[in-house]
Amino acid sequence: MFAMLYGEVNCLCIAVLALLLFKLRTGADQRRPQRLFSAVLAGNMATFFLDVLWPLANSGGPALRFWNIAVNGVYYTLTGLNAFVWFLYSETMLDSPAVRTGKRRALCALPCAVITILSLVSFQTGWFYFVDAAGVYHRGAFYPFQVAVVYGYIVAASLHALILSQRRENFPLRSKYLALSSYAVCPIALGVLQIFLSQLPLANAGIMLSLVSVFISLQEQQISLDPLTLLNNRRQLTYYLSAALQHPSGGRQTFLLMADVDDFKQINDRFGHVEGDDALLRVADGLRAGSRGFSCFLARYGGDEFSVVCSVESETEVQALCRAVQSEIDQLGGGAPYTLALSIGYARVTAEISSVPELICRADEALYRVKQSRKLPED
């Protein structure tokens, strides 16, 4: 009876994750974060399927000893890979320096590589598991190390998201960060409970519930993002600026930067709107890269206009930020069949500014003066 219930719970978890995967794969957005989340879903579905097979293989006696070894070897390998891919996904969503380059991602993958190798050789060494001559599975002496690495990835990603959620400049993104940080809660809580109720795959149910929760929360977050660039949209910008006006950052200055793409109309007219969209994506990437190291909130204001809200010690930092963004835009525009450049104007939040429209108006006026000084047309 318990073996049947064990399989039924796993099958239910597989069905739920399959539905999420279908929804994700049929969506229009197939960028790296979505591909990573798809990999998390597919990997856990495969793990749950192996967990369905495990009671059958383990109760088959010597005749199924080989299959018992194979199921456990693949299962242990997949659990490590699933945890690492989740770590990559979460850190990518947080724009973490830990996963920005291939070398850093490879460094993060080392613990996963170690337990993958140890999982695959355990059929001979018995380090993580072994199957005796009677065909019965047993945990190995180094089983706790495998568990520590798997949950280490999950807990590290959750703690990082939780820490970022508490920072003032991340307030508009707090719900997103909290959703990522909550991923560890259900698997750990139900995993501990499974120690006492081993007849049910409670840890798997916890993973499924966490993935559903994260999926729903992040789908809701899409409402606050610009669909093309995935920067914050104008509504979120207004919300953020309202908070900045009402609650000034003690000891620091807040600036609003308004930027638009030089000669963007000509890019659209000459090369088409697809190339125009590509130019906007390059600008968004340039803003992300150039603002690293600064306390910034990025948004697409509309059309070819972008906004950056930064909290700095002085105007000198704002000028350094502008130079960093311009440098990144120059590099990203290198392969384009047109010249990609930004004009940027900015205004400081002061006690005299009483509303968001007034602040935007001042930054727009500064942008206009920059364009006039360079004799550029307004798009």
The pLDDT confidence band at residue 207, using thresholds 50, 70 and 90, is very high
- For 217-241, the pLDDT digits (tens) are 877 777 788 888 888 899 889 988 8
Q: 52-56, 124-128, 168-172: which range is least confident on average?
A: 168-172
d(Cα 379, Cα 366) in Å, to the nearest integer?
Answer: 15
- Of 40, 31, 34, 32, nearest in space to 84 by CA: 40
State the pLDDT at residue 58. Answer: 79
- For 146-182, the pLDDT digits (tens) are 999 999 999 999 999 999 888 766 666 777 888 899 9
Radius of gyration of the chain from its Cα atoms, rounded to whole angstroms: 26
Query: 326 vs 194, which has greater pLDDT?
Result: 326
State the pLDDT at residue 29. Answer: 60
Q: Domains in the chain, please, with CATH? A: 2-224 (1.20.1070.10), 234-373 (3.30.70.270)
- For 269-303, the pLDDT digits (tens) are 888 888 889 999 999 999 998 988 788 889 999 89
d(Cα 235, Cα 218) in Å, to the nearest integer?
Answer: 17
Whether the per-residue pLDDT at 28 is higher than 60: the answer is no
Whether the per-residue pLDDT at 35 is higher than 80: the answer is yes
Q: Please state, in angstroms and as integers, the Cα–Cα distance from residue 36 to each residue in 40, 140, 158, 240, 316, following that order.
A: 6, 31, 16, 29, 39
- Cβ atoms within 10 Å, residue 153: 24
CA torsion angle for 320, 326, 328, 333 (degrees, to 10)? 180
State the pLDDT at residue 18. Answer: 96
Whether the per-residue pLDDT at 379 is higher than 70: the answer is no
Query: 19 vs 225, which has greater pLDDT?
Result: 19
Beta-carbon contacts of residue 275 (< 8 Å; ≥ 6 apart): 267, 268, 336, 337, 338
d(Cα 343, Cα 369) in Å, to the nearest integer?
Answer: 10
Query: 264 and 342 in contact (C-beta within 8 Å)?
Result: no
Task: Return the H-helix or E-strand segment holding 255.
Answer: strand 253-261
Top mean pLDDT of 65-69, 74-78, 330-334 is at 74-78
Beta-carbon contacts of residue 254 (< 8 Å; ≥ 6 apart): 244, 248, 309, 310, 311, 348, 349
